Amino acid sequence: MEGADGAGDERDATARDVLRKLGKHWDKLRKTDRVGAWQYLQRGLMENMSVLVPHVVSLKDLLAATTNIEEMLAGEKSDSGESPAEYLARWLSEA
């Protein structure tokens, strides 16, 4: 999405960089600390909201994703029996 000032491509590149950085670190953390990885991703999405919205995701979808991570983490900590991957797969299939 490019504005009249021509800055759209630059904002999109920045958003892609943010997602790349979050994804790379999240993947690394998941190997040793799954809950910590999800907390990192949730925090990273919220801290970078101004870069990601609306260039990559809508505010509504970003808030829904972070809320769903919160719910998943609550289930993970209480031994719900559903892994984060299973929860995310189920959530995505409901959307």
At residue 12, the pLDDT reads 67
Segments making up each domain of the chain, as ranges: 8-94
> Could you tell me the pLDDT band of residue 79, with boundaries at 50, 70 and 90?
very low
At residue 3, the pLDDT reads 42
Task: Choose between 39 and 76: higher pLDDT.
Answer: 39
Q: Residue 60: is its pLDDT beyond 70?
A: yes
At residue 26, the pLDDT reads 92
Q: Which two tokens stand for residue 84?
A: 């984060």
> Could you tell me the pLDDT band of residue 27, with boundaries at 50, 70 and 90?
very high
